Chain A
Amino acid sequence: MSAKTLYDKLWDSHEVRKNDDGTSLLYIDRQLIHEVTSPQAFEGLRLANRKPWKVSANLATPDHNVPTTNRSEGIEDPISKIQVDTLDQNCEYFGITEFKMDDIRQGIVHVIGPEQGATLPAMTLVCGDSHTSTHGAFGTLAFGVGTSEVEHVLATQCLIQKKSKNMLVRVDGQLKPGVTAKDVILTIIGKIGTAGGTGYAIEFAGEAIQSLSMEGRMTISNMAIEAGARAGMIAVDDTTIEYVKGKTCAPKGEQWEMAVEYWRDFHTDEGAMFDKEVILDAACIQPQVTWGTSPEMTIAINESVPAPEQETDPVKKEGMKAALKYMGLEAGTPINEIPVDVVFIGSCTNSRIEDMRAAAAIARGRKVAGNVQQALVVPGSGLIKQQAEKEGLDKIFIEAGFEWREPGCSMCLAMNADRLEPQQRCASTSNRNFEGRQGQGGRTHLVSPAMAAAAAVAGHFIDSSKLKPVA
């Protein structure tokens, strides 16, 4: 048998049939559902008088619209409330398990899947959300779909798909101290561009990736979509298996042993071919801050905002000019001199316990700078919030002047009340710095949790290792 990539193995093990036209019918093991991209799918099922094919394959939670304060008072925005109520009603009607807003297990879909063991290695997993690539960290084929495909999976447990090409992104060697998974993925996107992975499924590999915790790996695969790839994945190893062990929905007893043996094969075989390979040296990766309105517009903390004049591609040059204008920045400004107004620590990219700990380690004993108008910490799930509180992280944040919130997507996309005002500049641990993403006119700089916390206490971007020691 010829050598296969991880993606080939995931694809082959889920192919129900090959169609004559080059597409395949792919079986989907798990679907995660949230309130924004599902109402029209459920409506479609009802109109066609169809039922879910396999109810137990689905898990739902509201995350995009939920408030992060005063949850006991319900949702103030009537339109958001209708959407969350609609999810509740649909799940009840079709018998789908849902962690409702007041459930401790509620959280961002991409956080609760792994947390519950609903995300397992060697699966196929979809969700009506582009950041579904997150789950690829488990050696799983996970990708975002539109609402029509949410309905398709509900009705058939399958999708008609054409196989993507294979891309390998290998990060060799070890990361320098203070360099995080977020810096790695921003560097990768900066190198290959936001369309660099279009048409490909990316496998992230190499010593630097293998050395990451599952939290770090999820940050990497989460942003595969920002490099244009619907799916990003990382081979199964001891770290993966250790993380999954004991999770609520993970197999137990004899089935656990059987599962581990099965999962161990989900790595790329020696000699397997990729259509494209990108290799980075971990030692060259620096802490990153994005300066523009696309995740590829990223620089190291010790660099300056680039000049469009130096770009030769005319379309890119115009894009850079528009980005500088929108961001209110001058080319040549050192990024570490740029003050911030708001700090947001959260999102499906960076709201897990390790992220909370990394930010708290910087915030401990320090104070949010006077020029920072708001510093938000939004844990990814109720269980992460609980764990963080058990560790006393909430107190560290609150004493430093951060706000400690209820779980949800929050200011990552500002569908709830958490949003930037026009021209406010935000150090954000989220995944997109698009125009208006965090609020109309808002200016987003993507950073790691440590960098965000450092910006909060310094009042401007700063390499966290350069912060004055706590007295």
Chain B
Amino acid sequence: MEKFTCLTAIAVPLDRANVDTDAIIPKQFLKSIKRSGFGPNLFDEWRYLDHGEPGMDNSTRAVNPDFVLNQARYAGAQILLARDNFGCGSSREHAPWALEDFGIRVIIAPSFADIFYNNCFKNGLLPIVLPEEIVDKLFEMVDTNEGYQLTVDLEQQTITDDGGLKINFELDEFRRHCLLEGLDEIGLTLAHADEIRAYEEKQKQITPWLF
């Protein structure tokens, strides 16, 4: 997994609540057996004017000029500003894969759906929960300042801008550590293989029908 330490980038605002993973990456693209290549179809139904299918040449499709990701001022954005309950619905990890493949590394929202939130950390993506009034303020800043950039520092757990803004954010220590180091969680668990085996031996006595 790619490490995350510090990032300075343009923030793009997606001003709707309850953005579900079906919207982040529609079902027809879930037929891929790969982990990569989902970026061009991120938010496919909102981003393009036609209906997207796997195998299409996305560079020739008509884009929806009203959709925020298509607006020139947000080109190259790596921070997504979102609303409540972002990533709800399906457990598809294709959603963080698509965001990451597109170039997004940080998502800031007042709340996230649990499974999506968890999936982000497996893919070098940092979801940050902030109080609603602070998220509102960031939406306002992005809207009124073209080219507005934020710096997200995971080491310090801060979000800053050029104008003196400084926001602290909270994160579980384990998740922070894994993201900073780009750790393989399976490797971490296998370091406890003896304890897993001991648990199984104990359970064989209590619930033998499961073994």
Bound CA span A48–B89, Å: 30
Is residue B165 contacting chain A, with contact meaning CB distance below 8 A?
no
**Chain B residues with CB below 8 A from A454, complex form:** none
Report the stretch among A21-29, A98-106, A276-284, A361-369 that lies at the interface.
A21-29
Flag if B93 contacts A434 (CB, 8 Å).
Answer: no
Which 6 pairs of residues, A with B, have the shortest CB-CB distance? A251-B209, A146-B93, A148-B122, A39-B33, A146-B119, A144-B91
Is residue A80 contacting chain B, with contact meaning CB distance below 8 A?
yes
Within 8 A of B (CB), among A143-164: 143-149, 151-152, 155-158, 160, 162, 164
Known A-B contacts A21-B174, A199-B114; the reply to A259 vs B93 at CB < 8 A is no
Residue of A65, A148, A316 with most partner-chain B CB within 10 A: A148
Flag if B33 contacts A435 (CB, 8 Å).
Answer: no
Bound CA span A130–B114, Å: 10
Within 8 A of B (CB), among A202-235: 225, 228-230
Flag if B22 contacts A318 (CB, 8 Å).
Answer: no
Is residue A198 contacting chain B, with contact meaning CB distance below 8 A?
yes
Is residue B60 contacting chain A, with contact meaning CB distance below 8 A?
no
**Chain A residues with CB below 8 A from B195, complex form:** 16-17, 25
Flag if A228 contacts B45 (CB, 8 Å).
Answer: no
Flag if A415 contacts B28 (CB, 8 Å).
Answer: yes
Flag if A162 contacts B172 (CB, 8 Å).
Answer: yes
Known A-B contacts A149-B122, A198-B113, A315-B84; the reply to A259 vs B33 at CB < 8 A is no
What are 27 A-B contacts with C-beta separation under 8 Å?
A16-B195, A22-B174, A25-B192, A25-B196, A29-B210, A36-B92, A37-B93, A40-B33, A79-B54, A83-B31, A129-B90, A146-B91, A146-B115, A148-B123, A148-B185, A151-B186, A158-B189, A158-B196, A194-B85, A198-B113, A228-B85, A258-B209, A262-B206, A315-B84, A318-B16, A415-B31, A440-B26
Interface size on A (CB < 8 Å)?
77
> CB-defined interface of A1-27 with B at 8 Å, one 1/0 digit per residue?
000000000000000110101110101
Flag if B88 contacts A194 (CB, 8 Å).
Answer: yes
Is residue B111 contacting chain A, with contact meaning CB distance below 8 A?
yes
Bound CA span A149–B117, Å: 13
> CB-defined interface of B89-129 with A at 8 Å, one 1/0 digit per residue?
11111001000000000000001111100110011000000
Flag if B207 contacts A262 (CB, 8 Å).
Answer: yes
Name A's interface SS.
Answer: loop
**Chain B residues with CB below 8 A from A255, complex form:** 208-209
Flag if A130 contacts B33 (CB, 8 Å).
Answer: no
Per a CB cutoff under 8 Å, which of B22, B188, B196 touches A435? B22
Known A-B contacts A19-B174, A148-B122; the reply to A160 vs B91 at CB < 8 A is no
Flag if B31 contacts A65 (CB, 8 Å).
Answer: yes
Is residue A322 contacting chain B, with contact meaning CB distance below 8 A?
yes
Within 8 A of B (CB), among A264-290: none
Bound CA span A262–B93, Å: 36
Bound CA span A340–B192, Å: 55
Bound CA span A234–B16, Å: 34
Is residue B173 contacting chain A, with contact meaning CB distance below 8 A?
yes
Bound CA span A251–B90, Å: 32
Q: How far is the CB of B174 from chain A (nearest CB, A)?
A: 4
Flag if B119 contacts A148 (CB, 8 Å).
Answer: yes
> CB-defined interface of A191-203 with B at 8 Å, one 1/0 digit per residue?
0001100110000
Is residue A319 contacting chain B, with contact meaning CB distance below 8 A?
yes
Is residue B23 contacting chain A, with contact meaning CB distance below 8 A?
yes
Within 8 A of B (CB), among A44-87: 48, 50, 53, 64-65, 77, 79-80, 82-83, 86
The chain B residue with its CB closest to the CB of A19 is B174
**Chain A residues with CB below 8 A from B173, complex form:** 21-22
**Chain A residues with CB below 8 A from B92, complex form:** 36-37, 146
> CB-defined interface of B51-87 with A at 8 Å, one 1/0 digit per residue?
1001100000000000000000000000000011100
Residue of B83, B122, B177, B193 with most partner-chain A CB within 10 A: B122
Per a CB cutoff under 8 Å, which of B18, B22, B122, B190 touches A146? B122
Is residue B166 contacting chain A, with contact meaning CB distance below 8 A?
no
Is residue B130 contacting chain A, with contact meaning CB distance below 8 A?
no
Bound CA span A316–B85, Å: 12
Is residue B180 contacting chain A, with contact meaning CB distance below 8 A?
no
Known A-B contacts A17-B192, A415-B27; the reply to A435 vs B45 at CB < 8 A is yes
The chain B residue with its CB closest to the CB of A151 is B186
Flag if A160 contacts B22 (CB, 8 Å).
Answer: no
> CB-defined interface of B173-207 with A at 8 Å, one 1/0 digit per residue?
11001000000011011101101100110010011
Is residue A378 contacting chain B, with contact meaning CB distance below 8 A?
no
Per a CB cutoff under 8 Å, which of A17, A36, A123, A437 touches B210? A123
Is residue A120 contacting chain B, with contact meaning CB distance below 8 A?
yes
**Chain A residues with CB below 8 A from B111, complex form:** 195, 198
Q: How far is the CB of A14 from chain B (nearest CB, A)?
A: 9
Q: How far is the CB of B148 from chain A (nearest CB, A)?
A: 21
Within 8 A of A (CB), among B143-179: 172-174, 177
Q: How far is the CB of A221 from chain B (nearest CB, A)?
A: 16
Bound CA span A39–B36, Å: 13
Bound CA span A36–B32, Å: 8
Flag if A434 contacts B22 (CB, 8 Å).
Answer: yes
Is residue B142 contacting chain A, with contact meaning CB distance below 8 A?
no
Bound CA span A128–B93, Å: 9
